[in-house]
Structure 1
Amino acid sequence: MPVSLCGTWDMVSNVNFDGLMITLGIGVYTRKIALKLKHRKVIEKVGDVYVIKTLSTFRNYTVSFRVDEEFEEFTKGLDDRHCKSLVTWQGNKLVCAQEGEKKNRGWTHWVEDDKLHLEVYCEDQVCKQVFKRVA
C-alpha cells in the first residue's frame, strides 16, 4: 500500500521553476511573480478521488482524479492548455503522464524523510520542489 500523501504541505525549496515555466510558454511577468511565491499543497482523498490543490497568494490550481483513469485536464491558471492525463501509482510514487501539445509532460509526488517531493517535467526541463507537512 502506497504511503499517504494526504495533508497540508508548505514549500521549502523550488529548483528550476523558471526553466519549466519558460518551456511551458509562461510570460516573463507572470514568471517573476511566480518565482517569489511559496506554494502550499493540500492533498485530500475523498472516496477513490484524489484532490490536489496548489495554493498561493497569486493563483490557485485544483486537480481531481481517480488513479488509473484517464481524464481530460485543462491547466487553467497555469499554462492554459488541454491535455489527457493519467495518474498511476509506481511503487510509493504518484505519477501523472500528460499528453497534449507539450511533449514529455507530467509530474511525480512522493513522501521521503517526512517531506513531500514533487518533480514537474516538460520536454527537457525538470522542476524539483520539496514541501514540509503543516497539518
Structure 2
Amino acid sequence: MRIRQFDWPDYEAVTAVWAAAAREIVPRAELEAKLTRDPELFLVALDETAVTGVVMGTYDGRRGWILRLAVHPGHRRQGIASELVAELERRFKALGCPRVNLLVMPDNTAGLRFWQELGYLPMPDVLCTKPLL
C-alpha cells in the first residue's frame, strides 16, 4: 500500500470509493475550493492497481479536522484507514496543528470504536449547522 496526496486524475476513483462506502460524494467544484487551502491534507491510499481509501483533512490555523475517511469495502480490515489517519496526523503536526477534531454520527458505533482505538475521545459538544446555499 502507498499513500500520497490526491491528484485530479484520482477523482473518479475517489468518488467510486465514496460511493462503495455509502458516503456522500464531494462535488468537483466544492473539492476545487477545498484544494486551494491545503491540498496536502487530501490523501489517497493505493494498492498496485487502484485507489482503495481516501481521507480529507483541513486546517484552519487553530484546529485540524478529519473529514471523509472511507475505505472501499473490498479492502477493509487491512489497516488502510489507520495508515491514512496516521499520515494525515503527521501532516497536521508538520503544519504546527495542536489538536484534531472529527465528527462521528451517533449511530455509528463501529466508527466511534475505530476512532477511540486511535486515541480520539468523544466530546459532549452539540453540532449546529446551517446551509448557506
Name whichever structure is richer in helix by fraction.
Answer: 2
Name whichever structure is richer in strand by fraction.
Answer: 1
Judge same fold: TM > 0.5, yes or no. Answer: no
The alignment's TM-score, normalised by the length of structure 2, stands at 0.30
The alignment's TM-score, normalised by the length of structure 1, stands at 0.29
